[in-house]
Structure formats: C-alpha cells, structure tokens
Structure 1
Amino acid sequence: MPVQALQDALSALIGEARLWAAPLPDTDLRLWLLDERNMDRAFSPDETRRILEEPPYWSFCWASGLALARYLAAEPHWVRGKRVLDFGAGSGIAGIAAARAGASEVVACDLDPLALQACRANARLNDVSLGYSDDFFAEADRFDLILVADVLYDRANLPLLDQFLSRGRQALVADSRVRDFDHPLYRPLGVLHALTLPDLAEPHEFRRVSLYHATRQPL
C-alpha cells in the first residue's frame, strides 16, 4: 500500500510521526500530511540529522502549492482540456488541483521516489488519475502547461525558468521564496496568500505567494 510505505519512511526519520488525511483550507482537497498534533517537541540531534539528509517535503503542503491549487479551482480555464505537467510535484497538490479543474492529462514529475508515491496516494485520496515521471528532461515537448510551485526556493534554481518552456508551451509559476525574479518571458499575475501545512510558523513573508506566467516565443 503506498500510504503504508510513506508511513514507514516517515517513521524511519521520526519514530512517532504519523500521516493523516488532512483537509486543506478553502479547498475540497485532502492530502496525506505529517500530523503536527503529536510533534510538539524538540527533535533529537539524530532526528535532525536524518531530516536534513532526507527531508520528507512530500509530507507537507507548501504555501505556494496550496495557493496555486486554490487559484486553479477559481480559474480552471488555465488547465481545462489541457495536457499539464506538475514539475517538482512533491505531494502532488498542484497536479491534483489541475486534474480536478478539468485537465485532459496531468503528469506529476519529481526526482524523489517517495514524492511520487505520495502523489499516487494523494491522487487516490482525491479520486483523480495522474501520470508519473521521475525525469523532466526525458519527457517529450508535448505539454500545454507546466505547473511549478515552491521550486525557486534558491536563486540557483532560476535557470530552470528557461527549461520549463522546453517541454511546455506555457508555464505557471508560484513561489514564496524567490518572489522578485526578473525574466523577459515571465510576467507577474499577482500575489496570493496561503500557509504551509502543517504550520511551520514561518515568517509572514513566506505566506505571500507570487504568481508568474510565461508563454514560449515562436522561433
């Protein structure tokens, strides 16, 4: 069972940590997330080391992913009838929201095998069908839209902005860490608001999610 495999991986990092099917605020979606109710304590040095070496980021719904999911629910024209790839999918929240909003095909793409297992479990939880990929650059240039949430957490990742348009005609990027990038193909659409779940008590600035859109230019 995918959920049990995820639980086993989480338990190996943090013994008493548990996953639960958490409802996401202001959506009709749920995700298997880390249950914060039994985690109100300091981590041991060994736990901290393991978490830093293999962070279970798939067990969180990051603010940008939640904001993008809400946006697609309110503006389904972005994905309706389109072929969509969710880059760096993590929990799969953006791809699941795209499938719910009427995308004709959604591929969840992530390098981490556990993240892809989380995407499978969360797709089942929300009664949607996804495809799965562990190599973005092995995908054909056939997508109408690339969704990107919480990937530009480091400015070293900014060159990816060009790569997104190598596999899709358009890209929709949501990010709360690097919000002020300047790229000739990407135009800002506005600022959304969301928080990471479970709540990491992050600074308020990380609850402000900038949304950008790009269209590949014809040759």
Structure 2
Amino acid sequence: MIAPFDLQQALSELLGDARLVACPLPGTDLKLWLIDGDNMARAFSQEETQRILHEPPYWSFCWASGLAVARHLAEYPQWVRGKRVLDFGAGSGVAGIAAVKAGALEVVACDLDPLALAACRANAELNDVQLGYSADFFAEDDRFDLILVADVLYDRANLPLLDAFLSRGREALVADSRVRDFSHPQYRRIEMLEAMTLPDLAEPEEFRHVSLYHAARA
C-alpha cells in the first residue's frame, strides 16, 4: 500500500528517509498512516532535530490519548451513536474515525494544521469512513452534541480552551496523559485509561496513563 504523496513528501522534507506505513492499531479495528517506527530508532542530525522542533509531524503518530479514546468509543459507543461530533485538534483523526465507526451521525475533524487535515482525509479513506473537515473551531456553529479532545492539553496555555469546548458542543470528552490536575467546575475525571503512543517513543510510564474527563453544559 502506497502512502499519500502529499503526506509522504512533507515527511521526507523533515526526515529524508522517513516513510509512512499503514499500521493497525492494537485493540481496535482501525489503521493509520504512521511514521515507520524503525526510522525513529536512529539518531537525528542537528538539522533534522531543528526541523522537527520547528514543525513537528505530530499527525504521523497515534498519541496515547487518541488511541485510548478510540478504544473507549468502541467499547462505549453510546457516547457518540447518532450524535454530531467534532474532533478538536484532530491530528491523525483517530478519535473522529473511531466515532464514525461507533455510529456517530456526523463527525468533523478540526485542526489548524493543513497537513493534519490531509492526514485525517487519508486515514478516513484508509478506514473507509467519511469525515467533515474544519480549520477553525471558532467558525463552527454551536450545533455539536459532543466535542472530542485528545492530547491537546500538553501545553497548560491551552487550558482556557476547556470553556471554549462547551461553546460549540453540549458535552465534551477530554483525554490527556500529561495534564492531570486541571481544576474546572464543569469537568470531572470519569476514568483512567491505558494506552501508548505509536510508534513507541519510549515515553515515561506515566504518559501511558490517560485521564478521561467529561463536561456538560449546566
């Protein structure tokens, strides 16, 4: 199977010998175009490191929280069945694709990065599902039943978004492995999930424990 040309070209510009491969996600029936794990095992040059830091290809990974959400929706499809869903900061699109598979009426993958939206399109095609696409969350109408959020709160500067999510959706489901102590009156932690980032980045064990939070409008 040949990776989408635009995504492969973008990845090659960052890491000349990196390749996208279609990878099955453990514990799911999903596949994603992900960076070849063997390539991540080598040492990077200073120039490569600078390019990665400047423009990280986060869309070429399945981060732990996204994988955890995908598994959770497969087990508890009532979260999304028959609902209109927006996948915020969609990245690879794994959460949104899982929502479609679980019976969502409509899913919009939302991300500022054009390459992330291209990855969402490619991964939707790989999994034979249909997504909508948006580059501007705040341009969306307040019409969603659920906002899905995975691996967005890694930067504490993003915490004010917790209020914004409920401006466009009646409920929000937020998964994160890096920020566990945010205090917000409308959000409560409902479960702790286990997952890992793919390909394996040898992250600390603590990042395999994903907190799942739920909020609903008052």
TM-score of the aligned structures, taking structure 2 as reference length: 0.98
* 1:53-64 correspondence runs (5 A): 53-64=54-65
Q: Secondary structure at the match of 1:137?
A: helix
Question: Do residues 204 (structure 1) and 189 (structure 2) align?
Answer: no
Does 1:4 find its partner at 2:5? yes
Aligned pairs for 1:95-134 (under 5 A) are 95-134=96-135
**For residues 149 and 75 of structure 2, what CA distance do their matches in structure 1 show?**
17
**SS across alignment from 1:21:** strand
Contact kept in structure 2, 1:106 and 1:130, CA below 8 Å: yes
CA-to-partner distance for each residue in 1:129-177, whole Å, 9 max, x for gaps?
0000000000000000000000000111110000000000000000000
Which residue in the other structure is 2:168 paired with?
A: 167
Aligned pairs for 1:1-219 (under 5 A) are: 3-217=4-218
User: How far apart, in 1, do the equivalents of 2:81 and 2:39 lie?
Assistant: 39
Structure 1 segments, 4+ long, off by >4 Å, are none
Alignment size in residue pairs: 217
Structure 1 CA distance for aligned equivalents of residues 190 and 182 of structure 2? 13
CA–CA distance in 2 between the matches of 1:165 and 1:2? 36
CA contact (8 A) 2:3 2:20 kept: no
Structure 2 runs not aligned, ≥5 long: none
| TM-score (structure 1 length as normaliser) | 0.97
Cα distance in 1 for partners of 2:168, 2:39 equals 42
Q: CA RMSD in A?
A: 1.0
Distance (Å, rounded) in 1 between the aligned partners of 2:194 and 2:161: 24
Partner SS, residue 199 of structure 1 = coil
Question: What fraction of aligned residue pairs are identical, expressed as a percent?
Answer: 77
Shift of 1:2: 7.9
Write the deviation string for residues 99-129 of structure 1: whole angstroms up to 9, x where unpaired: 0000000000000000000000000000100
